[in-house]
Chain A
Amino acid sequence: MSGDVTTVRFNQPQPSGDADAGQEQAAQVAEAVKQAKQVAAAGAASAKKAKKETPVALGRGLDVGTANLLSATQDNSEIVVRRERNAFLEIPAEFAGNRDMLTQLNVPYVSFQDRLYVLGDASFNLANMFGKEVRRPMADGFLSPSEQDAIPMMRFIVDRLLGKPSVDGEPVYFCIPAPSIDRDNDTVYHEGIVGGIIRKLGYTPHSMNEGHAIVYSELADHEFTGIGVSCGGGMFNVCVAYKTIPAVKFSVARGGDWIDAHVAKVMGISKTRATAIKEGDLNLMEPRSREEEAVVLYYRNLISYVLQNLKQRFQLARDVPQFTEPVEVVVAGGTSLIGGFVEVFAEELQKVDFPLQIAGVRRAEDALSSVVRGCLIAAALADN
């Protein structure tokens, strides 16, 4: 991602005609920028002080994603992030061989109900060897209805990530997607089961919207006011928050997998090939082949789809606070890592007659861990 633009600031349209008015406006702009820098410097100083004064608290964050599960804990002033693929593979017991060998090869396994299961990343490596497909407990952001037997597997993976609680009932904030506007999905079952898993491990579970977690993680310098967009493999989650209070939150059942599927379909290539193109060195602003152009086209379509629905949701929402200041949009998640994503997002945003003033678009510094970091912040705050 070297050279990738991670922040786009929008220019104010220059008024035509009056030169004096233009000069006056420019002076105002310069003064506003100077004040903004002073405020930012003071904020940085106070943040640094707060960082040293704020004690390390209990609490853990858990990002329950379709592709990956992540946990975050505090270790002095650092954050420890643990990641594991949300997948497993059942292998025939007679092929397991010496189980000590599996341990030596760093292959995590569990013998459960007279079967042998390999968990996490290792399951993908072994899937090709045994000619089997990995099984995924989740699909499109929710627990998969066709993999009810996989819930215990997910429990083992979550156990690996969270470990033993520091104290009984230690709070864990886990992210859940918002109900989708374009698919009939239900968060009740998903939230209940995941919460039950966490509670069974000795923690006190609390759910949190994915987009809201990004607000907690990335918009501290803006009084937690702005728009957080989690760009995942199965869905995009959006949250518009005003001083930590979510005003609008929703999800769309389209994500990176949707792009892969459609690019593969229109270009007549395999989905694996489409994924490889998307995750290669493609820059959305500079496609070099027909396949890359197709990827760009679907990315733009998806971003535009999200923004149009965000606009509609915002206009239909009741009791929406008045955003007196322009707000920032922060994107995170694996699907946002592609080169040129922020620029394309900014371009599409400018095409939409948005009811909010937008200051700019940026990607989280650690896009893969932003959600779990936000959950950790919420958990630490709850413990305080």
Chain B
Amino acid sequence: MRRQALDNLRDAIEANTERRSIEQLKAQGKKHVRVVSGEKVLKIIKAIVSDIVDREVGELTDRDRERIVAETKQQFDRVLKLQNEQDALLEEQKNLVEEYREKIARADGERERFQARIEEAAAAGKERESALAAELERARTSEREAVERLQKAERVVQKLEARYVNLRNTCTNYDSELQRQGEARKRLEAEIAALRERAGESEAVGQLRGDLDEMKSFLRALGEKSSGVDEETVSTLLDRLSERESFNTGALEEKFNASLDASLDKITKTMEAATAKPIDVEIEATDVVIDKLFDHHEEVLSSNLDELDVDVRTTKDGIGGNLAALKALRAGRKPQQEEPDPEEAAADVAETAETRAEPVPVGMDRLKPVREGEEKDG
């Protein structure tokens, strides 16, 4: 029985255990192992069973003992199997732990690499942020400048609008002034036309001429009549006239003179009215109009007109002679009538002689008006 039980135990152990070499055990990190023989295991089992049986059951038969041993062995096998399974599981877990440790190591490496990249990215980000900040500052500065320019432009626009309004008012006022001057001119032109009409009226002049013609005819007829009267009749008339003391020839003459004077005055006034010149009127632009045209003179911002000169030339031919001639004419004298200065005479001799020596072209004289039908010369 013992041998068979031992053989069974041996089979059970081989069935529920693995064969491992010492190198494998070392590779697993095992440095010590417990070695137990099959016989000692059987003894242990028997001892355990006996103790238990003795404690629990008391005295047993051999068959019962054998049966208990068998059951115990089975239990032991199951425990051993379970133990092995646990060992295997433990081993597996240890392997997993190793794997996880390796994974963790790899992950740590990855983490370090990512950390470095993050640091690099952070540094780069800081640089970009600085650049963006600088650009933002520049943009803000540009915006401020643009705002200032816009404000300045707005001020200029307001100024220009004010000037435009001012100029428009100036033009309106100037138009009014022009209209007023135009009306004044029209009034003057109407007066001139009226005067010219009067001058054109030949009716009054014609009537006077008619009166004069009648007078001439009357006098002519009177002369003819008087020429036909014989001398005797005339002398008789004269005698009669001389006898009439009351005959006042002076009064008649005076009356005739008065009448004649009145007629002459009338004729003179009519002729003056007929030949009167049109009235010339000078109209000056008012200072108000001129000021409004030039009120922006102060807005000349810059100019170089004072630094540059215009085209200038001088002429030796002065105006003294012209002025002297004009003054002489005003004084009623001809310029040639002035006595030459004796001191100048000697200096002028050569000039006069030169003038005298100038050849005179033939036929150099004045032209008479050419009438129709006459031959023109040269």
Binding site for B on A (CB under 8 A): 9-14, 29-30, 32-33, 37, 39-54, 57, 74-75, 77-84, 99, 102-103, 106-114, 119-121, 151-152, 155-156, 159-161, 186, 188-189, 192-193, 195-197, 199-200, 216-217, 220-221, 223-224, 243-244, 318-319, 326, 350, 353-359, 365-366, 369, 373, 376-377, 380-381, 384
Contacts and interface: CB of A to CB of B under 8 A. Distances in A.
A120 B304 CA distance: 13
B14 interface: no
A9 B364 contact: yes
Contact of B319 (A74, A197, A356): A74
A46 B366 contact: no
A223 B325 contact: yes
Contacts of A197: 290
29 contacts: A10-B366, A13-B376, A33-B364, A42-B336, A43-B335, A45-B344, A45-B345, A48-B348, A49-B341, A50-B321, A50-B328, A74-B318, A77-B320, A83-B310, A84-B310, A99-B304, A110-B305, A152-B297, A160-B310, A192-B283, A192-B289, A199-B287, A200-B290, A244-B329, A350-B370, A353-B369, A357-B368, A377-B322, A377-B323
Interface stretch (B122-130, B235-243, B349-357): B349-357
A173 to B, nearest CB: 12
A216 B329 CA distance: 12
Nearest to A76: B318
B324 A41 contact: no
A114 B157 CA distance: 12
Nearest to B291: A200
Interface in B298-331: 299-305, 307-308, 310-329
A54 B340 contact: no
Contacts of B370: 13, 350, 353
Contacts of A14: 363, 377
Q: For B319, B344, B368, B372, which residue has the most chain A Cβ atoms within 10 angstroms?
A: B319
Contact of B185 (A188, A193, A220, A376): A188
Contact of B367 (A12, A45, A84): A12
A78 B321 contact: no
Contact of A243 (B329, B355, B366): B329
Among B181, B317, B336, chain A packs the most CB atoms within 10 A around the CB of B336
B163 interface: yes
A217 B360 CA distance: 26
Given A12-B367, A353-B372, A357-B367, A113 B299 contact: yes
B247 interface: no
Given A45-B348, A83-B310, A359 B321 contact: no
Contacts of B305: 108, 110, 119, 156, 159-160
Contacts of B57: none
Most buried by A among B156, B284, B316, B324: B324
A78 B315 contact: yes
Nearest to A188: B283
Contacts of B163: 113
B172 interface: no
Interface in B82-141: none
Contacts of B327: 54, 381, 384
Given A11-B363, A13-B375, A82-B310, A49 B344 contact: yes
A277 B324 CA distance: 42
Interface in B268-297: 275, 277, 283-285, 287, 289-290, 293-294, 296-297
A49 B302 CA distance: 49
B321 to A, nearest CB: 4
A81 B355 contact: no
A182 to B, nearest CB: 19
A147 B301 CA distance: 22
B310 A189 contact: no
Given A160-B310, A188-B283, A79 B318 contact: yes
Contact of B377 (A12, A57, A380): A12
Given A45-B340, A46-B338, A220 B322 contact: yes
Nearest to B276: A318
A152 B163 CA distance: 15
Given A48-B348, A354-B369, A54 B300 contact: no
